[in-house]
Amino acid sequence: EVQLVESGGGLVQPGASLKLSCVASGFTFSDYWMSWVRQTPGKTMEWIGDIKYDGSYTNYAPSLKNRFTISRDNAKSTLYLQMSNVRSEDTATYYCTRGDYWGQGVMVTVSS
Amino acid sequence: DVVMTQTPPSLSVAIGQSVSISCKSSQSLVASDKNTYLNWLLQSPGRSPKRLIYQVSKLDSGVPDRFSGSGSEKDFTLKISRVEAEDLGVYYCLQGTHLPTFGAGTKLELK
């Protein structure tokens, strides 16, 4: 069974950094492009970016490219999202997704 | 950015009724490989999104055939025949031909 389990969210102050993780199981992680998507409290969905199966290439939403970094560790079947200089508008539920499968999401709240 | 205009924002339906949701893109979604990367997702209440349809009309495994997708270029439709209670939630279209973008969602509720 394919499973994607995110972690690392929580309450963070503006300007801080945060790293989210997504552990994959039930499939060969290194065979798939993986993505991060977020959903705001108002339910707007926003694609953050994706990473090639071997980690050699990434794409980002232009508005997030300077602050967010996606990486992966195929030996650990884990996807990461490094968020820096976070802002209140980054408050959202963050999902990792293979496209056809989505994790349960992890909440990030940016507030002082 | 490719803008996905999804309508209506909400639908009130009776069980057994059929409904359609529209999604129009600001640019053609035909990719250089001639495929059209238009997906439909369902987010049931309190759950994470689930993909139902990819490449306009291909059903994901386990998705009932009362769901169907159609369209081309910039104009796409999701049709649900004989709505069941488990179909309630928010439907999103998502294009993957360009940098991915989502529609604003259509909330399907019981009448």
- For residue A92, the one-letter residue type is A
Out of B54, B99, B102, whose CB is closest to A45? B102
Chain A contact present for B58, CB below 8 A = no
Backbone phi, then psi, for B33, in 5-degree steps?
A: -90, 10
CA gap A95, B49 in Å, rounded: 9
Out of A46, A59, A102, whose CB is closest to B49? A102
Out of A43, A46, A47, whose CB is closest to B90? A43
The alpha carbon dihedral of A28, A34, A40, A45 has a sign of negative
Interface test with B, best of A33, A37, A45 (most B CBs within 10 A): A45
Inter-chain residue contact B102 with A43, CB threshold 8 Å: no
Alpha carbon A23 to chain centroid distance?
11
If DSSP codes are grouped into helix, strand and coil, which group holds residue A64? coil
pLDDT of residue A84: 97
Per-residue pLDDT of chain B in tens (111 residues, 90 and over written 9): 999 999 999 999 999 999 999 999 999 999 999 999 999 999 999 999 999 999 999 999 999 999 999 999 999 999 999 999 999 999 999 999 999 999 999 999 988
Chain A contact present for B38, CB below 8 A = no
Distances (CA, A) of A49 to A1, B18, B88, B107: 25, 35, 29, 26
pLDDT digits (tens, 9 = 90+) for A41-82: 999 999 999 999 999 999 999 999 999 999 999 999 999 999
Query: Tokens 């945060």 map to which residue?
Result: A18
Q: Which of B32, B99, B50 has its CA nearest to residue A50?
A: B99
